[in-house]
Structure 1
Amino acid sequence: MRNTAKISAAVLAAAALTTGLTACGPDGDSSHGSSDTSGPLVVAASPTPHAEILNFVKKNLAKKAGLDLKVREFTDYITPNTATEDGSVDANYFQNQPYLDDFNKKRGTHIVPVVTVHLEPLGLYSHKVKSTDALKSGATVALPNDTVNEARALKLLAANGLITLKDGAGTEATPQDIAKNPRNLKFKEVEAAQTARSLDDVDAAVINGNFAISAGLKPATEALVLESAKDNPYGNFLAVKKGSEKDPRVKKLAKLLTSPEVKKFIQDKYQGSVIASF
């Protein structure tokens, strides 16, 4: 998201994904979200862990609560928000507050959080070394290229002594904000969804938790370094277009997503790779 070309490419890719995934989502139908709050609640989500958590709710909790839940999976970080904004879906579940703030600012959208559900710790992974000490001078590290996740990745590297950021480097930090780079690390900026796929082409990659899990990685045991959950601002939440927060279907889903049953599901299934935030 560093320039117009990147945004255009991402939008085109997202449009293609929307066409394909809407037709072949888990529910196998073509219903969309609408202003009719008596109909199904259609939620856009990343496949892992968001859609998995939602599908657990759908299978085990929604019927008893009187909620008709439809889950639509998307593999990019753009379409879920644009679809929520234009009403193609009723809500989404895939993002954190810094990312949403940046998205709303740049896209002019009006998406708001409803309830925070979980944290996916960002991690540094490698197919070539077993520890950060083994990263050689001049090693190439892949970073997610969207504003928030790139800054988050750089903060992870700084917190573990691989680089030092300039004073004041915040949620929009880029490699240009690096003050000290003792190992002369080189950085390859790629779309967040591609970071795991880049592991064979780079020495290490900083990967979002959901993409790490989707790629078969185990963040709790395989990450060279992992974000701390303490005071972490990157919890993932259920979100809607402003004005839909009081939709009774949304309220039902928010309650179910923060239930003891969902907490146990997260703990049992993800074993610390995804952490309940409630």
Structure 2
Amino acid sequence: MKKSYLWIIGIIVVIAVVVFGIHSYSNSSKNAKSDTITIGSQGSDLEIWQHIAKSDEAKDLGLKIKVKQITDGVQLNKATADGDVDVNAFQSWTYYLAYNKQNKKNKLAALGTTYLEPLGIYSKKYNSVKDIPDGATIAIANNPSQAARGLLLLQKAGLITLNDDFGYLGTVNDIKSNPKNLKFKEIDDTTGPRVLKDVDAVLISNTVALEGNLHVLTDSIYHEKVDQSTKENINILATSAKNKNNASYKKLVKLYHEKSIQKYIKDKYYGTKIEVKKPLSYLEK
């Protein structure tokens, strides 16, 4: 009886040790996972964050970063809002506002500013916007914020005039005056460089232009200037609304603006990603 009793106690102790070990391993795995920040991105921004993730500056701030590629902007924002991605790095302030307006039950929150990339008008046929003829076809992005941004640039270039109340979700229906009777062809923004030969001019975001070996400051026939009129096109880091006060996520903004990181970005992208280190209140005014 005594031996049986001791055997039973021994078995109970072994089971307890095993259960405790599994529980401890499970908790440590969860903690390790929660300590790693998953950043969703695309294009050149993806390359930047892959570099940042491996940097000494990230280690100095105690940040473990995993970078995930999602090439569709809407899906990337949805993955962020759902929590499948912690933070995303790819969108402008206007793109962010447009997404939140269309997804009021699953909103994002901005963490901080990163840079401005000038949007450009490109053409294989003409060397100046003044040379664009009557009836020309202009390719514009099929997503709302990029389309509106492109139309504002066409207005600044003197090609069209927009309604006074034109907003960040404005469309071609808001064109007040079109003296050259321009035609507009909607395209997926990522295809811009490939359709250059098929139309008279194309509006291409800088990230996409770089991927197509185009330099906005030298290859475009007209591009945005960095001033107050383009502040809504500043890029940001975004997270789900419930994580807007996450201290680790906010460190990513500081990390992005570290001097050595900025030197890498400037050298790699030929100065086309212009650093903007401003409080969010600058964009919200």
**2:217 pairs with 1:220:** yes
The TM-score with structure 2 as length reference comes to: 0.80
**Residue in structure 1 matched with residue 50 of structure 2 by the alignment:** 55
What is the SS of the residue equivalent to 1:240?
strand
Pairing of 1:60-139 with structure 2 (within 5 A): 60=55, 61-108=57-104, 109-139=106-136
**Residue in structure 1 matched with residue 193 of structure 2 by the alignment:** 196
Residue identity over aligned pairs, in percent, reads 36
Q: Is the 8 A contact 2:141 2:189 kept in 1?
A: yes
Displacement of 1:37 in angstroms is: 7.1
**2:271 pairs with 1:272:** yes
> Counterpart amino acid of 1:64?
D
Gaps of 5+ in 2: 1-29, 278-285
CA distance in 2, matches of 1:218, 1:74: 24
Q: Is the 8 A contact 1:75 1:193 kept in 2?
A: no
Q: Is the 8 A contact 2:43 2:208 kept in 1?
A: no
CA distance in 2, matches of 1:168, 1:147: 16
**Residue in structure 1 matched with residue 144 of structure 2 by the alignment:** 147
> Counterpart amino acid of 1:59?
K
CA distance in 2, matches of 1:38, 1:84: 15
CA distance in 2, matches of 1:51, 1:157: 29
**Residue in structure 2 matched with residue 240 of structure 1 by the alignment:** 239
CA distance in 2, matches of 1:35, 1:214: 37
Displacement of 1:219 in angstroms is: 0.6
CA distance in 1, matches of 2:31, 2:206: 33
CA distance in 2, matches of 1:273, 1:215: 14
Q: 1:179 to 1:261 in 2, by over 3 A?
A: same
Displacement of 1:107 in angstroms is: 2.2
The one of 131, 153, 156 aligned to 2:153:
156
Q: Is the 8 A contact 2:265 2:273 kept in 1?
A: yes
Displacement of 1:63 in angstroms is: 2.2
**2:204 pairs with 1:207:** yes
CA distance in 1, matches of 2:100, 2:176: 30
Q: 1:103 to 1:35 in 2, by over 3 A?
A: farther
> Counterpart amino acid of 1:236?
N
> Counterpart amino acid of 2:50?
N
Displacement of 1:92 in angstroms is: 0.4
CA distance in 1, matches of 2:176, 2:151: 12
Q: Is the 8 A contact 1:220 1:271 kept in 2?
A: no
**Residue in structure 2 matched with residue 31 of structure 1 by the alignment:** none
**Residue in structure 2 matched with residue 254 of structure 1 by the alignment:** 253
What is the SS of the residue equivalent to 2:265?
helix
CA distance in 1, matches of 2:264, 2:154: 31
**2:224 pairs with 1:230:** no
Gaps of 5+ in 1: 1-33
Displacement of 1:168 in angstroms is: 1.8
Deviations 1:198-246 (A, max 9, x none): 2121111001111111111111111111111112221111111112233
Q: 1:69 to 1:132 in 2, by over 3 A?
A: same
> Counterpart amino acid of 2:253?
A
CA distance in 2, matches of 1:135, 1:263: 37
Q: Is the 8 A contact 1:266 1:275 kept in 2?
A: no
Deviations 1:98-156 (A, max 9, x none): 21121112123221110111111111011222221221211100001111111110110
Displacement of 1:264 in angstroms is: 2.0
What is the SS of the residue equivalent to 2:100?
helix
CA distance in 1, matches of 2:32, 2:82: 15
